[in-house]
Each structure stands twice: as C-alpha cells, then as structure tokens.
Amino acid sequence: KQNDLIDAVPGFDGELPSKHYGGYIPVGTSGKRLYYYFVEAETDPSEAPVVLWLNGGPGCSSFDGFVYEHGPFNFRLADTKAGQGVKLTLNSYAWNKVANMLFLDSPAGVGLSYSEAGPRDYRTDDLVTAADAEEFLRKWFTRYTQFQSSRFFISGESYAGMYVPNLARAVVEGNEDGAEPYINIEGYLIGNAVTDTEVDGNALPLFAAGKSLISQAQYDTLWKRCDGGNFWNASAGCECDELLDDLVDAVSALNVYDVLEPCYLGPNYDDGEEDQDDEGEGWAKVQGAAKKKKQARLNSLQKALKSHGRKWPVVGSALPRVGERVHNWHTLG
C-alpha cells in the first residue's frame, strides 16, 4: 500500500487535499494486472463509504470519470513554452468530497490495465470481467485493511450497466460462499445504464419524438410499421427497418452523448491517429459554429419573450439582486 502512495501529481501545484494511491493488483493466473487509482475522501475517510467507479464501453477507461466527470481535479489544456500541457485545479464537485473513490480500469486491456500474457487475455466477456473485478476487490480490501468495514458501493455508467450489477452479484454470492475478506456492500448506482437488449433497443424512437428531433407523425408511422413499437429486432430491408434508418439519418448530425452539446470533430470522425493541428482547427470551427448557433437561439428567445410582453432575465443580462422581486422569476425553476 505504501508503495502505491502518490506524493505529487504532475500538472497540479500544491498539496493534495487527501491521500491518493495508484498501482496494480494482479488477477487470475495468466498475468492480468488491473490498474486502480484511489482517492481518499477529503473529510474523515475512515467514516466515509468506499465507492468503486467503472466507465463502460465495453473497453473504455475509468480515467474518463477521473478526468472529465467527478474526479478530484479539473483538467485544462494549456499552452506552454514546450507545447501543449495540462493544468490541474481542484474540482469543487469531486465525489471524493463525500466518499473514498476507487477508479478501476477493467477488464485487462483497457486504459492502464494489461496482461503479461498479451492479447490472448484481452478476449473476454461479461462474466469473466465480473469475476476478475471481484478478485481485484477482495485483494484491494486485503491491501487496504482499514477500509474492510467501510460501507461499500459500486457505481458506473453506460456499459457499466452490465458491469455493475454483474459485479454486485459476484460480490454478494462470494460473501455468501465465505470468500475473504467479506465486502460490506450496501448498494450500487448507475447512470444511463445499458440494461436490456429489447428495452434499450426500443428506446431511441420515443426519445427522438419526445425531444422533437423527429415529428410526431414520423413517430406514429414508425410505431405502426414496427408492430406497435417493436423497433429493436426489425428484419433488414423491411419497412420498419427502412423507417428506422430514416430516423437515424435525421438525428445523425447530433452529439449522440448529449443532443444539446456541439459535436467535437463531427459525429463521423473516426481517425484513431491524433493530429493536434487538425484537431485544433476542427475544434475552433466547431466552437465558432456553436457560438453562432447559441447567439441565434438567444436572439429567437428574446424575440419570443418580447412577443409575450414579459421581462424575463436572459443569459448575459444582469441577474436580480438578492431580495429583488422579479416577475415570474421563480417559474424558471
């Protein structure tokens, strides 16, 4: 454990507000080594729960959560004399404000996790992934004995909708079978969780109609032609399948992960090789287009509000002072 203690983090100036640990734990017998980054809670880690975080994919690194979602730092690209660098500042909304956060790259072959046996160990499935992660957890709690009695939760998002329940089941069943050490699991949480082939497969048309990305008439036709909303297993070439293709075309220019956000590099960009110059130019273009779109939206919002004769505060205008009464302000909630 002491060998895994992180003294300082490049890009961050100052003292870490809690203890950080990083390192490998071997699982299986063929040389798989799973990487973890553990951030102790900023207040009273001995009383705070331990929460495991898993990103999805399958195949995506949990450093996505660490860097972009709820890790201890905000990461910012910065120009330096030597080129582009990364500056780290403390994240006011880091989840380790209230919990001991354990980020795990899983399965082997993802992120910083690997196998000494090489690619043959990167062939895996839901159950092997869960079994390896359970073994990791029991070894981790053996290394960090002071957290063995802590309340424990498993969390994640996306394809971790598969990882998390499978791992929770492995932990529960392992506990029942007497596996050591006992893991004091209390619950789990999952965001935008992949769960069920049929239900997930039927979700997009209703979402697209509900967000007005397609018309209600288009949705109604889809519903009828797809056997009353049975979208997920349409036979190739049938009318339902063709209409689903139309739907996908209609939304394909949007950012699939957030229909309100601009799409970095465009939705069809698939060049795995990174070219910083091209990326910068592409990003600047996307940002510029997004800025114009945003201004257009603001203009139309202001026109619409004027036509209703209301004095709504809009983005960029002065906010009301404390105690100042603003007509209908509270309905903005």
Written as six digits, the tokens of 134 are 């359970």
Query: Shortest distance, CB of residue 116 to other proteins, whole angstroms?
Result: 10
Nearer to other proteins, 22 or 181 (CB): 22
Least Å distance, CB 229 to other proteins, is 10
How far is the C-alpha of 106 from the C-alpha of 124, rounded, in Å? 11
Cα separation values, 296 from 287, 291, 301, 303, 308, Å: 14, 9, 9, 11, 19
Q: Whose Cβ is closer to other proteins: residue 245's or residue 306's?
A: 245
Taking the C-alpha atoms of residue 321 and residue 140, their distance in angstroms, rounded to an integer, is 51
Q: Which is nearer to other proteins, 220 or 306 (CB)?
A: 220
Quote the least distance from Cβ 49 to other proteins, whole Å: 6
Closest contact distance (angstroms) between CB of 309 and other proteins is 25
Minimum CB distance to other proteins, residue 103 (Å): 11
Q: Which is nearer to other proteins, 114 or 141 (CB)?
A: 114
Instruction: Give least dist CB 244 to other proteins, A.
Output: 14
Helix axes 126-143, 160-176, angle to 10 degrees: 60
To other proteins, the closest distance from the beta carbon of 192 in angstroms equals 4
Rounded to 5 degrees, φ, ψ at 165 are -65, -35
In the bound state with other proteins, the residue whose beta carbon lies nearer, of 51 and 137, is 51
CA distance 326 to 113: 54
Structure-block tokens of residue 290:
């997004």
**What is d(CA 34, CA 10) in angstroms, rounded to the nearest whole number?**
22
Distance CA 81, CA 177 (A): 58
Nearest residue (CB) to other proteins, 91 versus 221: 91
Decide: residue 252, CB within 10 A, 0-12 exposed, 13-18 middle, 19+ buried.
Answer: exposed
Of 174, 167, 138, 135, nearest to 53 by C-alpha is: 167
DSSP assigned state of 153: E
Cis omega (within 30 of 0) on the bond before 107? yes
Closer CB to other proteins, 197 or 317, in the complex: 197
